[in-house]
Structure 1
């Protein structure tokens, strides 16, 4: 066996092979919808306070990035952005919202919003830091 460095096209081919395999095990309806979202929060002076990005796939929302201006972090901006995410998830009839965060970011913030930790990776991205993985199972009673 010889292992070589592949091209971008090789990587795309590998991705397509896994998708083909996955389609044998996941309902076709879950493959037809995939959407990306970005919500921004502005103040009355048209200053950007924060934003969140997410994608809808396989009947859940995956939060990718939540950023709030440091001066606004105790003012409810993040909570309002996450409320928008949950509203979207309910609109799309999602079963859950997934996200990850680091120990130097906001794990406690997400716990306050009803997210539950389902995994962690110690010493990542560097020694002494932790990456946390969170899920919020959605029911008709789920609200922030």
Structure 2
């Protein structure tokens, strides 16, 4: 994309500007910290759990972050051969337990219609929003669970 000029400013799309990306991210984080009175970093723990088989191969994982007293489930995956055996529920419950232990008051996540909305609902999560603007029948579900 060519740069766009308006007034005395320039809008550019420089994918190589890693330092600019980091600078903007740092400034947004600073603003968010001030705007939340520091609550953004509470409790501030990462909860990463790995499911490993007998050969110590990673066959699943759940990666969560805690901020604003919430447990955010960012990544959750289990290899197909290990699904429907209760491992997902066990991993989710353990992540939630650790989140509560750290001081979280709720958990939240998003998932797509081709992923696991019913899994989360079976585990006590409520849908509070749906983005149905994707092509085909694909929908994104936003879910939450109060502890």
TM value normalised by structure 1: 0.82
Distance (whole Å) between structure 1 residues aligned to residue 133 and residue 48 of structure 2: 30
Q: Does 1:4 align with 2:51?
A: no
CA deviation vs aligned residue, 1:92-138 (integer Å, no higher than 9, x gap): 110111111110111001001001111111143x4320111111111
Residues 67-109 of structure 1, C-alpha deviation per residue, up to 9 Å, x if partnerless? 1121222110100000111111111110111111110111001
Matches within 5 A, 1:11-22: 11-22=21-32
> Rg: which structure is higher?
2
The answer to whether the Cα contact below 8 Å between 2:42 and 2:66 also exists between their aligned partners in 1 is: no
* In structure 1, distance between residues paired with 2:29 and 2:85: 42
Match of residue 138, structure 2, among 111, 115, 129:
129
Does the CA-based 8 Å contact 1:55-1:61 persist in structure 2? Answer: yes
Q: CA RMSD in A?
A: 2.0
Change (3 A) 1:15 1:82: same
Matched, 1:77 2:98: no
8 A Cα contact 2:114 2:138, kept in partner = yes
Shift of 1:30: 3.6
Structure 1 105/24 Cα, relative in aligned 2: closer, same or farther at 3 Å?
A: same
Residue 89, structure 1, aligned to residue 87, structure 2: no
CA distance in 2: counterparts of 1:67 and 1:110, whole angstroms: 13
TM-fit CA distance, 1:13: 2.0
Q: Distance in 2 between matches of 1:32 and 1:68?
A: 28
* Distance change >3 Å, CA 112–CA 21, structure 1 → 2: same
Gaps of at least 5 residues in structure 2 are 1-5
Cα shift at 1:43: 4.1
Secondary structure, counterpart of 1:34 in structure 2: coil
